[in-house]
Amino acid sequence: MHDVVVLGAGLAGLSCGKELKKAGLNVKVVEKSAGVGGRLATRRLQDTWADHGAQYISVHGEVFSRFINDLQQQGIVKEWTRSVTQLTPEGIESSDSAWFYPRYTCPQGMTAIAKHLATGQDVLLKTRIVSVRVQDSKWYLTPESGEEIATAAIISTLPAPQFLALFQNVLSTSSQMLKAVQSVKFHPNITIMAGYPKTQIIPDHWKAFRCVDDFILSWISCDSSKHPEQITQPVFVFQSTAQFATQSLDEPDLEKVGKPMLKKAGEFLGAWLSHPEWWQLQRWRYALVQEPLGVDCLTTKIPLPLVCAGDWCAGKNLEGAYTSGLAASIAVRELINC
């Protein structure tokens, strides 16, 4: 039996698992996907790669700053840009000073952070948990394979709706944790990765663009600018607004979803952006929490030790996920008296 099972191998889950392992606990991290990272997502494609989840890292607090500085020293992250250009209905504008600060990325893709954190941990991939139950003072998690996993405590870093699907039947309807999780809502997102001819000249200052007051696009970036020394062709990433994603999330025809996004990018920056050599689309149903709970994590001992963590608890960005993961590692040790 495990001391703790962590659900989700994103930044929150892996940072939590690493701290618990350092504390000497028997920990297993369970992830439904084929790889670690969650929204630290990088896709290998067309002899190159692109980040199709979190686009960069920003740093505000001291604890997260130490973590990123350590990654910098190891060459895992580097500063990418300090400026983000605004694209408005009136044209291209410089962002105000509040948007001018260091943004960090990974030359090998954002999943490099997750892979670094996962090193030495017991991570079980391609394992979707379909039910949980309590018996004899233990949690039992049942994956699709059917072979149960027993543990004394669970830390869930799943998006709130996925947590509810698993746990609402084992938590009391009066549970404060349950009520808090039920209040969390997410915005969806649609992301396109697109490649362009090697002969296409990209201005040096074309790195990051924030689309203002547009229905379709919220973000445009030249993803290949994150690793200029390894570029094989210009690659751009386009991210939709929540409104456009909401109306397009279940559309089966990818052309109907992707073409308006590419067309809008061409209108903003140049018609050639509307006609890539190739493009791929990723839908994120739970991309960004509408309003985080404002707590580092949620805890309960009823029916057994259970902790919720993630950026939807502590904040909307990667720093919030990291902070929440560390807090969860402390909280679960208090619950199980370790």
Q: What is the mean pLDDT of each run of 10 residues along the chain (338 residues)?
A: 97 98 97 96 95 97 97 97 92 77 96 98 97 96 93 97 96 92 96 97 94 97 95 96 96 96 97 98 95 96 97 93 98 91
Please give the tally of structural domains in the chain.
2
Q: Which tokens belong to 64?
A: 């997260």
SS3 of residue 49 by DSSP: strand
For residues 97 and 221, state if they share a domain. Answer: yes
The residue length of the chain stands at: 338
For residues 34 and 91, state if they share a domain. Answer: no
Beta strand 149-156 pairing with 2-7: parallel
pTM: 0.95
Domain that residue 138 falls in: 2-41+115-184+293-335
Q: Which amino acid is at 12?
A: A
Tell me, what CATH number does 76's domain have? Answer: 3.90.660.10
pLDDT at 174: 85
pLDDT at 93: 80
pLDDT at 338: 62
**CA separation for the pair 27, 290 (Å, rounded):** 31
For residues 146 and 255, state if they share a domain. Answer: no
Q: Which amino acid is at 7?
A: L
For residues 223 and 281, state if they share a domain. Answer: yes
Q: Which of 327, 310, 83 is nearest to 181 (CA)?
A: 310
Q: Note whether residue 216 is domain-resident.
A: yes
For residues 191 and 283, state if they share a domain. Answer: yes
- Backbone φ/ψ region at 321: left (φ over 0), alpha (ψ -120 to 50), beta: alpha
**CA separation for the pair 281, 93 (Å, rounded):** 28
Q: Note whether residue 177 is domain-resident.
A: yes
For residues 239 and 261, state if they share a domain. Answer: yes
For residues 7 and 144, state if they share a domain. Answer: yes
